[in-house]
Structure 1
Amino acid sequence: MKIKNEELINKWLNNELTNKEFEAFKKLDTFSSYTKISEKAKFFKSPDFNTDESLKEIESNIKFNNNPPNKIKYKYLAAVAAILIIAFTIVKILNSNTDYESYSTEIAKTETINLPDNSIVNLSANSSISYNRTNWEEKRNLELKGEAFFSVENGEKFTVETSYGKIQVLGTQFNVKSRNYSFEVTCYEGSVQVRVGDKIYILKEGDNLILKNQNILRSKTILTSPAWKRNVTVLKSTSLEVVLKEFQNYYNINFETSNVDTSRQYTGSFVHNDLENALKSITLPLDLTYEIEKEKVVLKTR
């Protein structure tokens, strides 16, 4: 369902845009104007502002003029009033969300984050989380883009929101991967509730759930934590196209794949701290060769 421009702006002002909605918001003609106002507004404290009185004052100034205003004057004044209202609204929202925190990692970088309730997030490479610190005790809710391992303290319901769905727990250890090409949840301790669309799945210790080609696949793991925490990526029956996208989370490099079949399935692993070793781990099982040209790797069939 297509969302109206007014709804996009309103949701942006309240930090409620989903990933897809934010992409649509950025395409609006007025996007740059709103973001500029937002940036400037961060440096101001919101004064008292009465919208009704301000509009009445504008109308009064118009009537005070003996010459009836033309349509251009009306449009100009309406535009000014709209900008003032938006600016003051943004200021108030920004001032009310000063405790909204975000963390992000770059390619090949990871970070450990301590949440207000002493829960711990190990954020994988090329990933981000964000949450509102103000009401954290009542609503332990955060948004994830990328991959992270969570060690959650017992307490109120803990929710991880992704573009694919929600993961909810009370106290447990689990890993979530939510990238634009992959969604996967693994429970290492306790239990996890995963909502995808209108379906709910319960994962117990050792359970793994993957969304692949719009299908839910479930399996088991004997590991006690995700492989990426040991600087290794492990993949099973994964297309070469997705393997290379995973690779780029840990190595700042591009691939030339015009001479290979990227739909071929790969099962294996690669390390995050040795480019040559990692490339061999991928190319040898698939009988491929590679050449490194500056920041590009050219793959070829033997």
Structure 2
Amino acid sequence: MNSENNQQAMRQQAAKFVARLYSGELSAQEENQIYTWCEHSAAHQQEFDNMLSIWDSSSQLYQTPKATSKPIRAYWFSGLAASVVGAVILVWFLAIPKQNTGPLYQASTHRPNHYQTTIGEISTVNLPDGSMVTLNTNSAITIDFTGTQRRVWLDKGEVYFDVAKDPNRVFSIDTGHKTIRVIGTKFNVRKSNETLKVSVSEGLVAVQSSAQPSSDQIEFDNAETLLPAGSIGAFTGTSEVVAKVTFQETLTEQQWRQGVFRFDNEPLAKVITEFNRYRLKKITLQNERLGKLKISGVFKLKDGDSILSAIEAALPVNVERYPKYIELTAKN
């Protein structure tokens, strides 16, 4: 009975979080609470993913009318009525036997050594040592676990690492110019062109030149760069910038794993660039002036076209659709 009660309480909490997430009024503190709750256990993450799946189904049935005014903050899924409808659907879901909806992102089946995702795909892989990695859109890694080394090559894209602690076996990620070495920690790595960005949410990460010889031990005192929890490092072949940030900021770097993006007064060009990573049909801007317009909101990765409705409602732009691309143009 206690087990059933705990499961029911977990579902109710997940339902509340999802309803709040799509209310359009989610604060940074509440967002932090959601991420922390999901990180607490795999069961929490599972229930949260299940509730997201239920919301996805309901959102196809209930659409809010398009806003006639131009709100300052454009949350595309917003509107109190929409959140109430969603909450009712989630409460109804709690009252019936649990269906086998599955997680939002299924773990990949085992494939020898090499793992990759296509554009728009997010995939989680369980490694032989108990570590877990989540590959973002259009990403690829190669693994080789032999002897006292746990080696990963980040071929392209972005990956979140949850590394099982093993002091006897170093875990390393070769990104080309840099090698990241840890014993056990949680961090996000994004590789784009000649730039590498590392965001650490737990533990300690050592970053060194890939030209340096690898060893079976991590000598943190001799590492070129040390990134403790709550820090973000940006690296090129010749320079680096390391910043101490809040816990919330490190979570923001990893929010793609939850299937959402949060933007607070960000330039439109940056928002479009981020979303284009997940789209085959790219969004373009008519000119640089449009790219400087600012927008805020929380948007779902799985429904990228909805951001177009938000942009059109909040900003002085038109959405022009063509067979191979979408262009945002200035309103006359």
Same fold (TM over 0.5): yes
Given the alignment of the two structures, is residue 210 of structure 1 paired with residue 234 of structure 2, yes or no? yes
Superposition deviation, residue 140 in structure 1 = 0.9
Cα distance change, pair 215–202 in 1 and its aligned pair in 2 (3 A): closer
Given the alignment of the two structures, is residue 222 of structure 1 paired with residue 251 of structure 2, yes or no? no
Cα distance change, pair 214–197 in 1 and its aligned pair in 2 (3 A): farther
Given that 2:275 and 2:304 are in contact with CA atoms closer than 8 Å, whether structure 1 keeps it comes out as no
Superposition deviation, residue 113 in structure 1 = 0.9
Given that 2:268 and 2:295 are in contact with CA atoms closer than 8 Å, whether structure 1 keeps it comes out as no
Given that 1:260 and 1:301 are in contact with CA atoms closer than 8 Å, whether structure 2 keeps it comes out as no
> Please, which moves more after superposition, 271-280 or 191-200?
191-200
Q: What is residue 139 of structure 2 aligned with on the other side?
A: 127
Q: 2:190 aligns with which of 160, 169, 177?
A: 177
Given that 1:158 and 1:169 are in contact with CA atoms closer than 8 Å, whether structure 2 keeps it comes out as yes
Given that 2:172 and 2:182 are in contact with CA atoms closer than 8 Å, whether structure 1 keeps it comes out as yes
Given the alignment of the two structures, is residue 101 of structure 1 paired with residue 129 of structure 2, yes or no? no
Map residues 127-276 of structure 1 onto 2, 5 A cutoff.
Answer: 127-133=139-145, 135=146, 137-144=147-154, 145-155=156-166, 156-180=169-193, 182-195=195-208, 200-211=224-235, 216-223=241-248, 225=251, 226-234=254-262, 243-261=271-289, 264=292, 268=296, 270-276=299-305
Cα distance change, pair 203–283 in 1 and its aligned pair in 2 (3 A): farther
Q: Which runs of 5+ in 1 are unaligned?
A: 1-98
Superposition deviation, residue 125 in structure 1 = 1.3
Letter in 1 for 2:228: K
| Alignment root-mean-square deviation, CA | 3.4
Letter in 1 for 2:133: V
Letter in 1 for 2:274: E
SS in 1 for 2:184: coil
Q: Write out per-residue CA displacement over residues 192-223 of structure 1, whole angstroms, 9 at most, x where no aligned residue.
A: 11236898221222212234895515141324
Cα distance change, pair 259–164 in 1 and its aligned pair in 2 (3 A): same
Superposition deviation, residue 266 in structure 1 = 5.9
Cα distance change, pair 113–283 in 1 and its aligned pair in 2 (3 A): same
Cα distance change, pair 204–127 in 1 and its aligned pair in 2 (3 A): same
SS in 2 for 1:218: strand
Q: What is residue 319 of structure 2 aligned with on the other side?
A: 290
SS in 2 for 1:117: coil
Structure 1 length-normalised TM: 0.56
Given that 1:270 and 1:282 are in contact with CA atoms closer than 8 Å, whether structure 2 keeps it comes out as no
Number of positions where the alignment pairs a residue of Structure 1 with one of Structure 2: 202
- Structure of greater relative contact order (alpha carbons < 8 Å, 6+ residues apart): 2
Given that 1:107 and 1:248 are in contact with CA atoms closer than 8 Å, whether structure 2 keeps it comes out as no
Cα distance change, pair 217–100 in 1 and its aligned pair in 2 (3 A): same
Superposition deviation, residue 179 in structure 1 = 2.0
SS in 2 for 1:273: helix
Cα distance change, pair 106–255 in 1 and its aligned pair in 2 (3 A): same
Given that 1:235 and 1:266 are in contact with CA atoms closer than 8 Å, whether structure 2 keeps it comes out as no
Instruction: Flag the structure with higher strand content.
Output: 1
Q: Write out per-residue CA displacement over residues 153-193 of structure 1, whole angstroms, 9 at most, x where no aligned residue.
A: 11211111113422111101111111227532111111111
Letter in 2 for 1:202: L
Cα distance change, pair 267–257 in 1 and its aligned pair in 2 (3 A): closer
Cα distance change, pair 148–267 in 1 and its aligned pair in 2 (3 A): farther
- Which structure would you say has the larger Rg? 1
Letter in 1 for 2:162: S
Instruction: Work out the CA distance in 2 between the residues paired with 1:236 and 1:214.
Output: 28
Instruction: Work out the CA distance in 2 between the residues paired with 1:283 and 1:163.
Output: 40
The alignment-based identity, stated in percent, is 27
